């Protein structure tokens, strides 16, 4: 699994790696642009919304929202990624923080219209993800939404099929989202919908 140093080393080439995988429609980033566009368009339904991005990376998604007048908070544990994102969003509130420790104290009491996270939550174990999502749900404003775009599958069978097809470069240290499993655990906590976009990616919408 990539740690903070790994992401620091990857930061300068990150956008290029994603582009190549997405253009070849291959695991892991097949559907990346469409997934980010869907989330962008959903946030754009509300003007000047309050948004937090979990694991914003180089700021591909949030910098566009920032340019369109949304107020951006964000957490990421890679200082190199943060440096790149800061050049695009100088006034955003971007905090260096490891989300395996939950949320940073400065964000725990805040409320958001949208909580977005793209290609970051698969770095948490399934158990960590559920605990973290429960924390995030409590930060939503009325009618607020959590929008997650990631490597994700409707069920475990589809994940295993993708794993079989990509056995040579499958990352066994990552924990991809499985809709049926997440939905069954969160059923009493929130509504959970999943929109598959590519053979290995999709968008989750969580709301209360």
Ligand X SMILES: C[S@@+](CC[C@H](N)C(=O)[O-])C[C@H]1O[C@@H](n2cnc3c(N)ncnc32)[C@H](O)[C@@H]1O
Is 37 or 71 the residue whose CB approaches ligand X more closely? 37
Q: How far is the CB of 195 from ligand X (least distance, A)?
A: 16
**Smallest distance from ligand X to CB 17, Å:** 9
CA 137/CA 78 separation, integer angstroms = 24
Positive or negative, the CA dihedral 57, 62, 66, 71 is negative
Residue 56 contacts ligand X per CB under 6 A: yes
Please state the closest distance from residue 119 (CB atom) to ligand X, in A: 4
- Stretches 44-52, 104-112, 115-123, 169-177: which one binds ligand X (CB under 6 A)? 115-123
Task: Please list every residue from 116 through 145 that binds ligand X, using CB under 6 A.
Answer: 118-120, 123
Instruction: Determine the Cα–Cα distance for residues 131 and 152; give it in Å rounded to an integer.
Output: 18
- Interaction between residue 7 and ligand X (CB under 6 A): yes
Q: How far is the CB of 120 from ligand X (least distance, A)?
A: 4
Nearest 10 degrees: Cα torsion 62, 67, 71, 75: 30
Cα-based torsion angle of the residue sequence 174, 176, 182, 186 in order, rounded to the nearest 10 degrees: 50
100 binds ligand X (CB under 6 A): yes
3-state secondary structure of 1: coil
Among residues 20, 27, 24, 35, the alpha carbon closest in space to that of 161 is found at: 27
User: Interface with ligand X includes 57 (CB under 6 A)?
Assistant: yes
Question: Do 34 and 206 form a contact (C-beta atoms < 8 A)?
Answer: no
Q: Counting contacts by CB under 6 A, is residue 49 touching ligand X?
A: no
User: What is the smallest separation between the CB atom of 40 and ligand X, expressed in angstroms?
Assistant: 11
- Tracing tokens 């107020």 back to the chain, one arrives at 71
Per rule CB under 6 A, is residue 81 in the interface with ligand X? yes
Per rule CB under 6 A, is residue 115 in the interface with ligand X? Answer: no
Write out the residues near ligand X by the rule CB under 6 A: 7, 55-57, 60-61, 75-78, 81, 98-100, 118-120, 123
């Amino acid at each position: 699994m990539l740690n903070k140093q790994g992401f620091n080393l990857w930061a300068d080439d990150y956008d290029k790696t994603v582009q190549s995988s997405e253009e070849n429609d291959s695991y892991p980033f097949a559907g990346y642009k469409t997934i980010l566009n869907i989330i962008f368009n959903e946030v754009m339904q509300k003007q000047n919304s309050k948004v937090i991005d979990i694991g914003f990376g180089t700021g591909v998604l949030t910098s566009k929202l920032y340019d369109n007048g949304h107020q951006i908070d964000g957490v990421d544990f890679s200082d190199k990624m943060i440096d790149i994102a800061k050049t695009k969003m100088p006034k955003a509130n971007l905090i260096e923080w490891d989300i395996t420790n939950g949320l940073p104290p400065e964000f725990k009491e805040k409320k958001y219209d949208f909580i977005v996270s793209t290609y970051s939550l698969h770095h948490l174990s399934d158990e960590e993800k559920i605990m973290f999502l429960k924390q995030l749900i409590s930060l939503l404003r009325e009618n607020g939404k959590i929008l997650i775009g990631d490597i994700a599958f409707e069920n475990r069978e589809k994940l295993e099929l993708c794993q079989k097809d990509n056995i040579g470069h499958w990352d066994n240290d990552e924990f991809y989202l499985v809709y049926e499993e997440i939905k069954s655990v969160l059923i009493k906590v929130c509504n959970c919908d999943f929109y598959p976009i590519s053979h290995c990616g999709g968008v989750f919408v969580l709301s209360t």
